[in-house]
């Protein structure tokens, strides 16, 4: 009986470690993708559409006209805050 419980415990730990590793790799993969512009539809006929861009550090979407910007090698990156802009590595 003790051997069965020990094997069950080892199995549960192994599944937890594998699951954590998969989540870590998914987060790394999502962090390496470039920011993609997303157009938001206007809420009424009087408002203009706002271009939303994804922050490459934290992944939040920010308005292009109010975002913190950084130009690296001719590419403009948009950030939600100064902290994300400072964390960014090109």
Q: Are residues 82 and 54 in the same domain?
A: yes
- pLDDT category at 21 given cuts 50, 70, 90 is very high
C-alpha closest to that of 82 among 37, 26, 62: 62
Is 59 inside any structural domain? yes
81, 68 contact by CB (below 8 A) = yes
Give the dihedral sign, CA 84/79/56/18. Answer: positive
- Shared domain check, 27 and 55: no
- The domain containing residue 12 runs over which residues? 1-32
In this predicted structure, what is the pLDDT of residue 90? 52
Instruction: Give a yes or no: residue 68 inside a domain.
Output: yes
Tally of domains in the chain: 2
Asked if residues 55 and 85 have their Cβ atoms less than 8 Å apart, the reply is no
Domain assignment present for residue 56? The answer is yes
Same domain, 28 and 54: no
pLDDT per position as a tens digit, 27-75: 887 765 555 556 565 555 444 557 888 888 888 888 888 888 888 888 8
Q: Is residue 45 part of a domain?
A: no
């Amino acid at each position: 009986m003790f051997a069965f419980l020990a094997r069950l415990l080892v199995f549960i730990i192994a599944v937890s470690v594998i699951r954590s590793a998969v989540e870590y790799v998914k987060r790394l993969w999502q962090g390496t993708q470039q920011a993609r512009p997303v157009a938001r539809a206007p809420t009424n006929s009087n408002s203009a559409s706002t271009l939303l861009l994804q922050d490459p550090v934290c992944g939040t979407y920010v308005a292009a006209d109010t975002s913190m910007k950084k130009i690296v090698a001719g590419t403009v990156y948009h950030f939600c805050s100064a902290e994300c802009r400072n964390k960014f590595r090109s």
